[in-house]
Every structure is written in C-alpha cells, then in structure tokens.
Structure 1
Amino acid sequence: MNTLRQLSGLLLALLVPFTPYCLAQGLVVGDVLQSPAAKVANPQRRVFTALALAGQRLVAVGERGLILLSDDNGEHWRQASVPVSVGLTAVQFADTNVGWAVGHGGVVLRTGDGGESWRLQLDGLRAAQLELQAAQSALSTQANDEVAQVRIQTAERLLAEGPDKPLLALAARDTKHVLVVGAYGLALRSDDGGASWHSAMGQIDNPMGLHLYAVAHQGNALVLAGEQGYLARSLDGENFEQMDSPYAGTLFTLASRGDGALLIGGLKGHAFVLAPGAERAEALPTLAPVSFSDASVLNDGRVLLANQAGGLFASAPSGFTPVSESLRKPVSGIVQAADGSLVAVGFSGLSRLPQSTVSASE
C-alpha cells in the first residue's frame, strides 16, 4: 500500500498526517488540543492506530482522541475519557495502571488508572519551547558553534510553525522514565513520570532530522528506528549513536524476542534481526513485498509482525512463518490478549482472532 507514512522528508513536510490510518485527521489546529474527545456510537468501527496491554486490559487508541478499553480480551469495548481530540498514534503501559499515549500536535497523554482517564502532559508547542531552551543552553558549551546555531534555528522554526508535528512512538522503562519520539527527529523524555519533560534531540545522532517511527528496549539498551533505514542505539538510555543500517528504506517497527534479539520490520516486507550486542542488523528472508506496520511480542516470547495487507508472521529461528489466517485488511497494530487471542486495529476498526490462529503456526 502507498501510504503517507511511507513517504520521506520533503513529501511528509507537505502531506500530513503521518500515520497510515489517520488520513482524515488533517492539520492540527489549536481547538483540538483543548476539546475533549467526543463520545461516539459504535466506536469499535472507527479508525485505530495502536493498542497495548495494561495488565490484562486492552487499550486501543485512534482518530480524534478516541481511546477504547476492553476487559474481556477484545469481546466488548467501552470509551475512555480523553481531554484532546487529535489523532493518537501509539500507546504503552509501564504497569497495570500507568501508561502513556502520544499523537498529533505533539500530544503526550498519561493515565494512572489503567486507561480509564487521561491527562495532557505535553503538546507540540511546549515541546518546541523545551527544544529551543535546550539548544540555547547548549550554545555556550557546544564545541561547534555552527552546529548549535543550526539547532537553535531548527527549534525556532518548530516554535513558529506551531504544534503540527506528530509524535509516533514511545518507550516506557518504568512508571518514571519514558521517551517519546516522532516526526523530524522530535524526542523528549521524562524521568519523573511526566511531571516534567526535557528535549532529548541533542542526545540523538540524527543530523538530518529524520522521522523516528519506533523505539524499543533491547535488554538495558534503547534502539530507535526511522526513515531511510535509520537505526540508533543508546547503552545508557540517554545518548544515542547512529548504527550502520542494512537497508535504505524506512523502518517502522521494533520488538524484542524472548531470546533478546530485536526484530525490525520495514518498507516492502523487509525484516531484520539485531542480536544482543551486535553492531549490525542482519536481513531475514522477505515473505511478502508489503510494508510491515506493527510488531508485538507473543505470550511465548516470539514476535508477531503484521503488514499493511493484514498478513501475520510469527518469528522462527530462521526468520518468520505465516500464521494460518490473515486478516485480509490493513492492520496498524496487533497484540495478543491474555486468553491467547489476537486483537488487531486498523482503518476498519477492531478485529479479534482466536488463539488457534497463532498456535497453528508453531
């Protein structure tokens, strides 16, 4: 599929939004950052972009600030209270209660009650202000003043353009430490549960400001993936060094397998594995020329990759094997529920597949 999420720098600057299933979101304006998400009829049929587990609860996020909860493995859903109506792109929980969701307008939302209610912690305007402050502070200590000046100019442009840049991914180490990343290299972190935030852009080796689509833990390390094959790793959780990339196309997904290897999914069905401590990711056989959209860790430690045609592939020692049933429709996010069933989200809403779907591929 040819989606906006696959387009690189210049086109993305002109055509928004960034995620493949929020095509109706449009440019973010101030009122959607201040307007609560509306209650809707049949919300499970709306457009969704991601989902996560909060203990055994399923939490799905999508268009116009929509967040749904399920406590019966995806059989039934109810709508949560959300203070904004922008499209949401990613969600993750640190434990049963504490989690974050990110989205358009540089929005960061936090919940402390398992997703029942959410509070706005950050938006794109504040994010730009934080980066400008960090860039100005770095100017006095920066060995290369020209680099520091460019960073200040970039931050000033972000501030002038307003909160129109989406955040696309996040990684929560625990209830205190969380990193959020997104378009044009946006990156912010909190070390106190989101009570305060600071820019992490100066700690990431990303001079071209490439879009960052995924971030995940691999043991004690953090790995970033993005457009043009961008990969970077942090061994201390703060400073990221760019890695040699095995591929020039965009990388969309990251997930750590039970044995510690990091599985990477990208454009046109390209997938890679990064062994623990390895300096370079190795290519895996291509099963279908369709871009991967999400990766999820199964209950048995394998990784499940979903593509934009609804194809599902479970990791095996030598690569991936197709599961017995494809959703046959676009998938933007997938997770295995507590009962072993698979729950997927996408442009056509929420879908549920029985446990046998995954078991059959073992």
Structure 2
Amino acid sequence: MTSGIGALVLSGLLAVSPASAAKDYTVLEDVEGFDPNAIKYATPSDQADDNLLLDVVRANGRLVAVGEFGHVIYSDDQGMSWTQAETVPTQVTLTTVAFPSDKVGFAGGHDTTIIKTEDGGVTWERVYHDFEAETPIFGLYFDTPQHGFAIGAFSLVLETNDGGETWEQTDIVDGGEYDYHLNDIFEAKDGTIYIAAEFGNVFRSTDDGESFQAIKTPYEGSFWSGIGLADGSVLVYGMRGNVYRTVDGGETWTKVPTGTKKSFGGGVQLDNGDIILVGLNGAVAYSSDGGESFLTTSRRDREGYNAVADGPEGKIVIFGVPGVKIMPDNAEDAVSQDDVSS
C-alpha cells in the first residue's frame, strides 16, 4: 500500500494553485511540437532499484514495485535481486500498483496515468491518461481483473468494468461536495472497502464499491494508508505517527500507541501475524499484538519509506527514497543492526 510519501512528494505539486498550474501547462502546450498525450517510455536503468519507489505488491510470489520516472521493477527471489520491466509507456512518477490476478496488474501515478500488464509486470500498456486534469492517482483497488477503482487528489474516483479499456469518473459520495485527497484504497477481511483520506476522514463501502459512506474518526489530520488484518480488524495510519484501529467495521476507532511523531505511509501483515509500518525519517514500526501497539525504530539513514513487503526468511523489504532496502522482520534484530537505532 502507498500514498504516505507518495502524497507528501506530491504535496508541492498540489500546493500550486490551479491557476498557476494551468499557466505552466499552457506554456508547455505553446511549445511547438509539444504533445501532452504522446507516450514516452521509461528509460532502462541499472539503478532503477536505487531510486524513489513508492509502492509494492505481491503477485503469485513475484514482487512488483513502482516509482519515479515510470520505473517498474520485479523480483522473483523475495526482493534479493530486481529486474526492470521491459516496456513501460510512461515517464511519470508511479505511486501505486495492484494485481487482481497472477498476471494482470495495474499501476497509476501523475497526470492521471494508469498502465496495465497482462504478463506479470514484464510489459505494460497505457490504458488511461489525462494530462490536463492535473490530478495524480494515489491508490488502486481491483476485486477482479475486470472491475476496479483508481482514486486520487481532490476526491478523484475512476471506475472500470472492462479491465481498464474504459473508465468512468464518479463521486465518492452521491450528492456530497467533498474535495479531500483520497490517499489509499484497500479491502478488509470481510470484503468491506476502505479509503483513507484527509482531515481524519475514512470512506467505507459494504457493497463492492457501488456506494461509499463517509466516516469521521477522532483524528483531524491526514491518513496516508491503511490495511485490513487477518483477525478482521482494520488499521489506518498517517501523519505524526497516528495509527487508529477499528474492530467493528469502522463504527468506532481507537488510537494505537506508536511512540513516535513520524508519519507512516505503508504497512504489511506477515504470515506470522506481525504487522510492520514504514514511514518518514527512517521510521519502521513493529507490532506483535495484532496492531494494538507498536514499537518504532529509526533507520540511521533517516530516509523516507513508503511501502513494505515480506522478504526472505527473517527479513522484510522496504521501499522509499533510496530505493529497495532489506532489514530484519522483528524489532529486536532491527535494533541490533548498525543501521537502526531504538
């Protein structure tokens, strides 16, 4: 899951007023020969796994990660080595990736760009692009290879029912005048869909996305992401180390102690039930009690991390500003490493 650093990285863009942004684009469009819809392919790079990466997903054992410059990389050995995708028809920053099946996957990012793969991430095609909208995509969710949602800034919601061939823009809530940034979309164990948003807002759907209900949590800041846990509970997390947990489908929320003010952007639950969150300034938080509390460590590199996946035996793979890093999957071993402090 994504959008922590992804949203923060994009904050400079989003802080620009629509008028000034439009002015910048107008200048570009006035340049002779400039075509905002022209496809520019990602450049092959031996350093693709050492640059900014913002999201990762597991597809039948394969890890697929996405990031800046249209970089898409994949690993078939639990993150120990990486291969860059052969054909990626964009150079924009990709912020999110989702695989509804072993082979079919989607990634989204800047300029309202969505790309699709049907071979497990090796080659991709562009299926949606709206340069003039000036709206980045922050999250993707698919319940089947045919049906899914793309969500993003300013309450953007796009829905496809034909595997990405066509997309329809919809309102997050019927008749609602919401303009929140929608930062991540994910599923709970019971199939309920949640969207983590700004100003302590969470949106919930119990009918496969046909409708969403706005839920106000006790928190007033932004939630960057969330995760549905194996016991049926749900975590949402974001700015200043805030993590909230619900065990009743979002009716009530309890603040989870993390011992930090560092923002969290990505999380994963391991096969053994442990939960790991990663975030800004090197934050890596560990929970062994189902998300009721976290012990937060700090990597000495103090870099920002936005996604995490289960890795080789005893390890996790984390993704962020410096690309891919591997570290222990438990707090005790993490603290004992030279690059981590308690």
Same-fold call, TM cutoff 0.5: yes
Cα offset, 1:292, TM superposition: 0.7
Specify which of 173, 190, 194 is matched with residue 223 of structure 1.
194
Q: How does 1:120-199 map to 2 (within 5 A)?
A: 120-124=126-130, 162-199=132-169
- The structure 1 segments of at least 4 consecutive aligned residues displaced by more than 6 Å after TM superposition are 7-11, 358-361
Tell me how far apart the structure 2 counterparts of residues 196 and 271 of structure 1 sit (CA, whole Å): 36
Superposed displacement of residue 211, structure 1? 0.4
Given residue 251 of structure 1, which amino acid in structure 2 is its aligned partner?
Answer: F
Q: Distance in 2 between matches of 1:4 and 1:102?
A: 11
- 2:216 counterpart residue number: 244
Q: Measure how far apart 1:230 and its partner are.
A: 1.5
Q: Distance in 1 between matches of 2:260 and 2:174?
A: 32
Please say if 1:208 is aligned against 2:178: yes
The within-5 A match list for 1:183-332 is: 183-201=153-171, 203=173, 207-218=177-188, 219-236=190-207, 237-315=209-287, 316-317=289-290, 319-322=292-295, 326=299, 328=301, 329-332=303-306
2:18 equivalent to 1:12: no
**Secondary structure of 1:5's match?**
helix
What residue in structure 2 maps to residue 91 of structure 1? 97
Tell me the residue number matched to 2:321. Answer: 347
Contact kept in structure 2, 1:73 and 1:341, CA below 8 Å:
no
Displacement of 1:165 after TM fit?
1.1
Q: Between Structure 1 and Structure 2, which shows a larger proportion of helix residues?
A: 1
Superposition map of 1:57-72 within 5 A: 57-72=62-77
Change beyond 3 A, Cα 1:286–1:32: farther
2:105 paired with 1:104: no
| AA aligned opposite 1:337 | G
Relative distance call for 1:183 and 1:58 in structure 2 (3 A) is: same
Q: How many residues align?
A: 314
Percent identical pairs in the alignment equals 27
Distance 1:102 1:3, change over 3 A: closer
- How far the C-alpha of 1:335 sits from its partner, in A, is 1.0
- Partners of 2:270 and 2:278 in 1: how far apart? 12
Describe the shift of the 1:248–1:60 C-alpha distance in structure 2 as closer, same or farther (beyond 3 A).
same
Q: Using the alignment, how far apart are the partners of 2:174 and 2:129 within structure 1? A: 20
The amino acid across from 1:222 in the alignment is: I
d(CA) in 1 for partners of 2:261, 2:172: 36
Match of 1:334 in 2: 308
Secondary structure of residue in 2 paired with 1:277: coil
| In 1: Cα distance, 2:158 partner to 2:270 partner | 29
CA contact (8 A) 2:140 2:151 kept: yes
Aligned with residue 47 of structure 1, among 48, 52, 62: 52
Q: Do the aligned partners of 2:110 and 2:136 also contact (CA within 8 Å) in 1?
A: yes
The aligned amino acid for 1:78 is: T
Distance 1:6 1:39, change over 3 A: closer
Consecutive unaligned residues of structure 1, counting only runs of 5 or more, are: 17-26, 126-161
Asked if structure 2 preserves the Cα contact closer than 8 Å seen for 1:48 and 1:346, the reply is yes
| TM-score of the superposed pair, with normalisation by structure 1 | 0.78
Determine the C-alpha separation between the residues in 1 that align with 2:145 and 2:153.
24
Note if contact 1:255-1:303 (Cα within 8 Å) is conserved in structure 2. no
* Secondary structure in structure 2 of the residue aligned to 1:68: strand
Amino acid at match of 1:341: K
Structure 2 portions without partners, runs of 5+: 19-27, 336-342
C-alpha displacement of 1:325: 7.5
Tell me how far 1:54 sits from its aligned partner.
Answer: 1.2
